[in-house]
């Protein structure tokens, strides 16, 4: 719903390092299906063997308190972000995925800046869960001041662990 943190259907994020205009927009069903197929082929989702059908369903499914926004660069699909709010006295960055050709261009940083700004001082905590083996993602979130508060062994599959990260605001 409009006026609720993360509930708007469009946000302007500025530009990435290549000068592309970045926006967050409502997720069309077809885009959710396509992105599910794309993300099933890249880590961490590939590492876990999560089928494209499951990812597509998650990315397409509307649910109260779960906000899904397509990330675009010059109106080209670059990725998707899913935020669940409220979750433990704050928003939870449930999913942030960028297609490989859009990684390392500043888009992820723009999304994180938006994620924190949208909270608007209304919450006590910001939350993220990241795969322990995903070193790049762990370093990325820690650069934004997120701290490891728990290690969740076997959360997704038995022989892998996740880190629950929190940033107090």
Q: Over the stretch 39-80, which tens digit does the pLDDT of each residue have?
A: 999 988 898 888 999 999 889 887 777 889 999 999 999 999
List pLDDT tens digits, range 142-161: 999 999 998 878 777 788 88
Domain count, the chain: 1
Domain contains 1: no
Domain contains 41: yes
Domain contains 2: no
Whether the link from the prior residue into 44 is cis, omega within 30° of 0, is yes
Whether the link from the prior residue into 86 is cis, omega within 30° of 0, is yes
Domain contains 133: yes
Q: Give, in order, the Cα–Cα distances in Å from 87 to each of 6, 26, 92, 104, 128.
A: 13, 22, 6, 29, 11
List pLDDT tens digits, range 112-124: 999 999 887 888 8
pTM passes above 0.75: yes
Domain contains 94: yes
CATH number of the CATH domain containing 102: 3.40.630.30
Phi, psi of 81 (to 5 degrees): -130, 140
Task: Please name the residues in contact with 96: beta carbons below 8 A apart, sequence gap of 6 or more.
Answer: 79, 80, 81, 82, 108, 111
Domain contains 93: yes
Domain contains 48: yes
């Amino acid at each position: 719903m409009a006026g609720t943190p993360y509930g708007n259907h469009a946000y302007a994020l500025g530009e990435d390092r290549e000068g592309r205009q970045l926006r967050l927009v409502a997720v069309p069903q077809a885009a959710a299906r396509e992105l599910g197929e794309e993300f099933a082929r890249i880590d961490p989702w590939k590492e876990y063997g999560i089928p494209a059908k499951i990812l597509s369903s998650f990315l397409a499914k509307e649910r109260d308190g779960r906000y899904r926004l397509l990330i675009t660069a010059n109106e080209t699909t670059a990725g998707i972000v899913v935020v669940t709010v409220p979750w433990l006295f704050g928003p939870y960055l449930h999913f942030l995925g960028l297609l490989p050709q859009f990684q390392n261009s500043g888009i992820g940083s723009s999304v994180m800046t938006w994620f924190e700004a949208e909270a608007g001082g209304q919450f006590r905590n910001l939350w993220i869960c990241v795969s322990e083996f995903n070193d790049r993602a762990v370093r990325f979130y820690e650069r934004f001041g997120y701290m490891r508060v728990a290690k969740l062994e076997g959360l997704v599959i038995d022989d892998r662990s996740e880190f629950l990260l929190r940033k107090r605001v």
